[in-house]
Chain A
Amino acid sequence: MVDRFAHQPTGSATEPANVAAPSTPPSLLEARGLCKSFGGVRAVNKVAIDVPVGQITGLIGPNGAGKTTLFNLLANSLRSDSGTVMFDGSPIQELPAHALARRGLVRTFQVARVLSRLSVLDNMLLATQRQTGETLWKVWLQPGKIASEERRERDRAWEILESVGLAAKAQDYAGALSGGQRKLLELARALMTHPKLILLDEPAAGVNPTLINQICDHIRTWNRDGMTFLIIEHNMDVIMSLCDHVWVMSEGSNLANGTPIEIQRNPRVLEAYLGD
């Protein structure tokens, strides 16, 4: 796939038009004062973050800054010690983790976690929300409805798999995919849930440059279709080219936030990255 992207050098600060948009849209996700300690370690310390609706927001910081932990708190994979998270206008920090996907918040994992012993297609279908066939007794009572839902979702899954180039692998076990393909599958699977917001933990880690470009391309396309993203990434080219707004964490706390260009020029950020 030769893309628009190829004509623009990555990392150039000349990118998206909407960076320049003066007014920020309302927040889809808004966290305030989040704290999490592991024993004595304060992994996340009074962190705040805003994710405006319809935008791509970046989250960067040195290794061990607490980014993944923050994701776990936002997705309720971990319980926060204190703080609030508002999603789509209501507080979610008390909800069980599984309730979030239904509300439209889905996350991926830093180390891709595909279900190796299910087929790629089943991995996709699993992500569908509100399936009739997931209720025990309806399996026997409404077979027709389930079958038609399955057909519909299968078509959608094929479509998404095709768009990320995994259609040829659809019937294989997901465990037979390469590392980069797993990243793609995770992304595609997240998309299957019909999310409003996707939290991506290092989508480009361990992925070859061409594939990174492809992933970025997809993210941009989906974003244009109205999906909001929050992306953790160490690859600055990706952050700079994709994001409308970037948040920086260091040692468990907020360090800065601003447009990619502002962040790039911020001396405190440079200091945190270069150390001491």
Chain B
Amino acid sequence: MFKRHLLAAALACALPTSALAVTDADLAALRAEFDRKLKDIQAAYEDRLKEMETRLVKQSGESPETAQAVPRPGNTGAAVASANPELSLILQGVYAQRKAGERRPTGFLQDAGIGAPARGFSLGDSELILAASIDPSFRGQATVVLADDAVVVEEAWFQTSSLDHGLTLKGGRFISGIGYQNEQHPHAWDFTDNNLMYQTLFGEHLVQDGLQLKWLAPTDTFVELGVEIGRGGAFPGASADKNGAGSWAAFGHVGGDVGESNAWRAGLSYLGARPRDRESPLIDISGIDTNNLFSGKAKIWIADLVWKWAPEGNPRARNFKFQAEYFQRDEDGDLACDDADPLVPSLCTGGSTDAYRGKQSGWYAQGIYQFMPHWRVGLRYDRLNNDSLDYGVNNANLARTGYHPNKWSLMADYSPSEYSRFRLQLARDHAMQGNPDDSQIGLQYIYSLGAHGAHKF
């Protein structure tokens, strides 16, 4: 090594005096040849050294397996791959042009925490993600969302890596494995906003505080089964101060390839929760906001399908992704209706509680086509159905319409690299009866910094 520096120095010194005679190309060639020879010598030495090591090991009676299983020193390749811990930061921002006000799907009990979508310029969620193997048996990850006056722990979980037999146990706060879109982080969404189905069912997505056990069948076809028990504190559950579990989920996924260019996954999921005093806004017959507390049973079924096409299995230049999900929600219990604002009395003034039974369903379907490197276009249709609503005595107060909330979204995005994306989205939002929003425009950027982990299928 020292010798090499010396020679390089000598060459450098020699350069000015012989500059007239020696061209850059000559020097480069000389340098290349020198490097090559040096490498050959190094390689020869290293090989001889290895041979001697092996012989030594054999003499000392150790098994040669352990001797040669030792990787070559000096390679950092493997080490960088698993930089520990992997840290990444997601930066997002949106510009939205739309009419003011709420866009609540009419007739659907929804998380009261969902406010009116922002207009004008706004900063999206900045996500800080930290992930690493804890030891040979566990992996951990935390996702923290940084907002203006809050730091929200979106995920904080451990996962086993050595249970074997296809089993994986996850615990802590994690994004539930139900459905398909549920496990996608907002920065991996194909549109600037969530579809109506997930927004209505879970707000953003279902996050569990609890345990998840998954089992992958030992078959050539992908077959995965999972169960979850959780606190059930988040919609469609509601903060339950009690022992035991507040929500249960089960899901099954199957998947495979069709030829070299097509891959698919389909699934069926179930979620059960027992919310107590879960808060949701609804409007009364005269169009005034009411506040509603639901206590009872909530059951949700989800069927999902995703189909991806990439010519010869190379998604980089062109690819197409079709995704659709269908749900049924069945809620049975008591609903306590009251004024949302004491200064604006509604038909529920003074409080009115009775049995509530709601059977609702809905679906969305979307297609995303990357027609050339960096450029994609996508179309999505959302639809919700009020199949049957019975508010008991509150039928006299709350609007029971046959309205079917729906929404069309069209997007185009450009990704200069894997780590940056810019998106334009146009939408016709008919989620709320009587307040059709014919032209929503959204502009969005998404950047990911650092060790950005791979995305799931």
A and B are partners in one complex rather than unrelated chains? no
Q: Interface of A with B (CB < 8 Å)?
A: none
